[in-house]
Structure 1
Amino acid sequence: MSAGAPRLVLATHNQGKLRELRDLLRGQVQGLDVDTQVVDAAAVGGPDVVEDGVSFAENSLLKARAVSAATGLVAIADDSGLAVDVLGGAPGIFSARWAGRHGDDQANLNLLLAQLSDVRDEHRGAAFVCAAALVAPAPDGGDPFEHVEYGELKGTLLREPRGEGGFGYDPILLPEGLDRSCAELSREEKNAISHRGHAFRALLPAIVRALS
């Protein structure tokens, strides 16, 4: 395998998630050039996967399995979303399509704010939740190696968006102990506390094992 050949594929087309993973892995795996060898699904012709699981973990495994099987590479996938206390954990696995169309961040955010407009500040607790899955092909053609880790970022929901960074619901979640929304944090600050950061860091030993 050439030095720049992909070794790890993130089962997403979201460039924000790919940047986060590359930042987290930079310098962590010996001999891994994250800028050329950690790629998204589009770079290796990974399939689109229907996320019809009923949990974050199930959806992340569905994506990682499909992309690893199609490419023969170690694959990582995450499924994440916003769990709002007064909505019983919703939007949850439906976070990316809460307003009806997948990936319309502004519509999703606007609908959620409208739904919570009468909820008092003390009841606006929420958390970003992430399940990150790794699937690595077995060298002998046997069952693949699979591993799932979880991460969470607790906070409260603002009444209007703040900040220009991040994506999704970042502009309206105020992390516990901070006075800035997730969208007002630098990439480094967000990665240090984010649900995805926690999940991917917990997954790091499995990534090292799979790439060794």
Structure 2
Amino acid sequence: MKLIVATHNEGKLVEIRRILEEGLGEDAAKIELVSAGSMHLPDPVETGVTFQENALLKARDVAKRTGCPAIADDSGLIVDVMGNAPGILSARWAGAHGHDLANNALLLAQIEDIPDDKRTARFRCAAALVVPGADGELKETVEIGDMEGVVIRKARGEHGFGYDPIFVPNDQPGRTSEDPDHFGEPLTSAEMTPKEKNAISHRGKALRALVPAIDALLK
């Protein structure tokens, strides 16, 4: 079965393939994962006002263009004291899409006066599976995954992307920060290895929750 992932990021295919292998076992070999980018499909304009709406929008677009089942996700950071912002605007919070340093700097400036115990936040991901039917109808499944934590005051770590350097997840691996100024403190997402982060990440949780629906397609 061909399953199209609505992304131009080939690295995301690696992550999804790993999750399917974990959840489906030998049946994962029955799935051919293909990215929308490798098929030269355009990125649809994300006009939704929630992560769920944007994930569905992207998956629907790919499913309609290809006639194949499609997966898409949408994610961002939710800061409680900011009324759930930056939310769906996370990637372009400072104006330019994907400008991580500017996004982090603006967010930290906006909550500079907020005490440490009030800087609670979460990364949220919505993952959608859209399956075209023989009658033209689309069968849709959406799952949500959260990674709870807090926003710290100064970036730490070289891994990850986006807000990872200023976010400390509540769930921690069995080691602590090696930063000389923060030795022994909990790790930021950017200090974790990809394996450590993927085990607790919002995206991993949402995609793993889709495995039963994907499994049903193989039966």
The TM-score normalised by the length of structure 2 is 0.86
| Distance (Å, rounded) in 2 between the aligned partners of 1:199 and 1:26 | 15
1:189 aligns with 2:214: no
1:135/1:147 contact within 8 Å kept: yes
Name the aligned partner's letter for residue 190 of structure 1. K
- 2:66 corresponding residue in structure 1: 71
Larger Rg: 2
Matched, 1:142 2:136: yes
Counterpart residue number, 1:85:
80
In the alignment, which residue of structure 1 is the partner of 2:152? 158
1:3 corresponds to: none
SS of equivalent residue, structure 1 residue 47: coil
Question: Of residues 51, 56, 62 in structure 2, which corresponds to 1:56?
Answer: 51
| Unaligned stretches of 5+ residues in structure 2 | 173-185
Matched, 1:171 2:178: no
CA contact (8 A) 2:77 2:122 kept: yes
The root-mean-square deviation of aligned C-alpha atoms, in Å, is 1.9
Question: How far is 1:160 from its partner?
Answer: 1.4
Residue aligning to 1:122: 117
TM-superposed deviation, 1:33:
4.5
Change (3 A) 1:39 1:162: farther
Which residue in 1 is equivalent to 2:2?
Answer: 7
Tell me how far apart the structure 2 counterparts of residues 33 and 46 of structure 1 sit (CA, whole Å): 25
Give the whole-Å Cα distance in 2 for the aligned partners of 1:13 and 1:104. Answer: 18
Q: Which runs of 5+ in 1 are unaligned?
A: 1-5
Residue equivalent to 2:175: none
Offset at residue 142 of structure 1 (A): 3.0
Q: Secondary structure at the match of 2:143?
A: strand
The answer on whether the counterparts of 2:171 and 2:200 sit within 8 Å (CA) in structure 1 is no
1:145-195 residue CA offsets vs partner (Å, 9 max, x unmatched): 110011101000111111111111111110114310111112221111111
| CA distance, structure 2, for counterparts of residue 12 and residue 60 of structure 1 | 11
Q: Which amino acid aligns with 1:181?
A: T
Cα distance in 2 for partners of 1:99, 1:211 equals: 43
Kept after mapping to 1: 8 A contact 2:123/2:146: yes
1:39 & 1:160 partners in 2: Cα distance? 38
* Cα 1:142–1:92 shift into 2, 3 Å: same
Aligned residue for 1:42, secondary structure, equals coil
What percentage of residue pairs aligned between the two structures are identical? Answer: 54
SS of structure 1 residue aligned to 2:158: coil
User: Does residue 46 of structure 1 match 2:41?
Assistant: yes
